[in-house]
Structure 1
């Protein structure tokens, strides 16, 4: 009996390690006669982050010798589809409260529903080694299985790997998974990623599929994106406005979204009556400008000398922002206190792409400022003959 148990133990332990597809980056630390049970957790019961995960050695370790003395009942079988894996009852019970309950009445075989063969191998391997599989792409279903079977340590590591692997293509599906299963760490990471890359995420097939097939889930994702952090909600109106303009100037779209969700005034101005949209236009931040326009920013707002965001985009050489503002019905013939239009600014600074976009939107090439100068006059005054030639060809 003892020899047969030893053979079973060696076979199962080696087979599990071999089948789990582990990376060479986790070499064995040598044989330990005590199989130690670890507990993963946090004080607030949320999914732990890398800084929160702690491995605490429990007082009651599983002595491998007891596995050999338990006879045939020491080994049980887990079944997932066509996959059958033998494992030690004591190991499964020590790692997973679910398996402890399943095998508490002498059961020798148990089905593991909703888990495919490869995932079952990863689960069993983790329970023996406490090492998460090193996969090129973490399978979200491994996270679900780890949660279902009470493997909190594996769950935490799966959340971390999925968060690290977020992309514009996977962000929506990952956010939905996290919301449905209350995976706090992954939910926060997915929300932050989507906020930062919102324009690109919305252009993916995943967003379109969610819009048509999972509208309720997408609504929950959007609610998650709109939640401002507590520290943002407590800011004064003046401080929100100042930060809004700073975020626009920096192109910090996520910050803009949080401030707007917290009640920042999209029309707030600085000392020269420049709005956040002025600053986004000047710096050429298309996503930031789009965010502000979508939030109701006045596209024709004039600053202290009546320069509009379109004036600033033409002056600063920002053709993409010029087109964005034109699509938002900005006035291509708006005049400042000197009577200059955005086309005058494009001419003065030799901005040909901006000029073509303005003309396409209906800018008046013959408009005269208060000194009687047309845009062509301004281009010649500043020695931009190439501008004149390009405009005439265009």
Structure 2
């Protein structure tokens, strides 16, 4: 036989031998499957022939399900214990499962019979809870994986609470890392608000874990991205501001801030989230005419209950980073909430913290005319002569927007009446340009110089004449 013929014979024989091997394997597999199916059929047949005592009714709300006692006991140690207890107590016909919803129980029962994990992402959190309650570790692990895969800003708070309460360590680590990366957005959600109200103690534990977890710089902080400062007017005034400097004496005796419902409110709808998206479009001069107010979070769909004691919310706020508390303080000053400002100062927010335009909370309160907030900030040591990126002081902001009471407060707190911005304008220039006679009067009575000239050589009277503000012309023109 030639080598070629031998090779041909080998090629022909090869497939035949492989087919025989595969056939043997297939036969073995089929045999095993058939044996398993026969065993299952025999077992199920035995269950069906066991009579009424072999079954038990499961009640979950309006849902009634019938299951074999042997299946429940074999799959779940918790069900086995429950069945032993009800048998001893003489009531073996039903189990009332008050902590499990009907649809969830139906899926649990399907798993007990088939050992197939339901692929229902929307139900995964509740299935995870049920799996933990009934001691189904494999189902719990699969549900945990599903919840991790669908973590989002809206679901993260609830996922973190579930993970802590049901010792789901993998989910706990993932939820904590996610919330840490998107903290401000997560805290603005309805899910976070409901968690604070419904389970504050667990949220405190979650906050501690967040505080203890190192920041993952590789994870994009979706809720805290910043846009650059908006274009500013030529005089450099804006809505916000900051610059550290020496503190001014308090205008009234300082009192120890007391925690109040503001702490819970801050955690439900942290206005720092809105402020972190960047300043709104500013007018040409850099001052803001509008009193920006943060949007409130949508109310939870379920009725809200009375918040737990304030120390829970205070503890949560204390665990935030300094940067996060500082953002909240600036946002609370913009909002005009004295209680929120007081609470944030209590938990360590920096009264001199600045935003992207180097404006501090006093700049923000002055720009919007929030008198009591400004007073509170001054009592806590805010620098009355702080400068923003355009060299505006809080007094510039109050004058530009015509908030005479705030002008009086700042002047009484040793504000520089003739401070110059980056174009040489004083607060009196700003009040004259904008047509605010009350603010101008307050400045003049506080000792502002009506003859001072800006970088263009203009006095406040010149600016009032240019804009035809007759009342200002009369005030500034009188000796």
Task: Classify the TM-score, shorter chain.
Answer: 0.3 to 0.5
Higher RCO structure (Cα 8 Å, ≥6 apart): 2
**How high is the TM-score relative to the length of structure 2?**
0.35
**How high is the TM-score relative to the length of structure 1?**
0.43
Q: Which has the larger radius of gyration?
A: 2
